[in-house]
Amino acid sequence: MLLIAFIPHLWLLLIATVIFGLAHGTVLTRIMTSVASLAPLEHRGAFMSINGVVLRLGQTIGSPLMKENMSPQKAWLSPNYKVLRAL
């Protein structure tokens, strides 16, 4: 995620996003399968709900953190800042 600011072309960003999405979907499925198979049957629902909470918490906290890192005060970090902001 930190390297997005340094991608020189928009089509490279698209390719990287597709690869990341495929990998993320594969890993998420594997994690949920592992949690379901390792958790005791009587506590499986609790384990799955905690897993969901942790994932959503990361998504909720990650968005404001990325917004803060892409603020105009830090525009010097990226040569493509104006392109990224237009997206």
Q: Any idea of the CA torsion for 29, 35, 41, 45, to the nearest 10 degrees?
A: -80
Q: Where are the domains of the chain?
A: 2-86
pTM over 0.85: no
- Cα→Cα distances 61→8, 42, 48, 51, Å: 27, 31, 20, 16
Task: Mention every residue, 6+ apart, whose C-beta is less than 8 A from residue 47.
Answer: 35, 36, 38, 39
Residue-wise pLDDT tens digits, 62-79: 777 777 666 655 555 555
Identify whether the C-beta of residue 59 lies closer than 8 Å to the C-beta of residue 65.
no
Residue-wise pLDDT tens digits, 32-56: 999 999 999 999 999 999 999 998 8
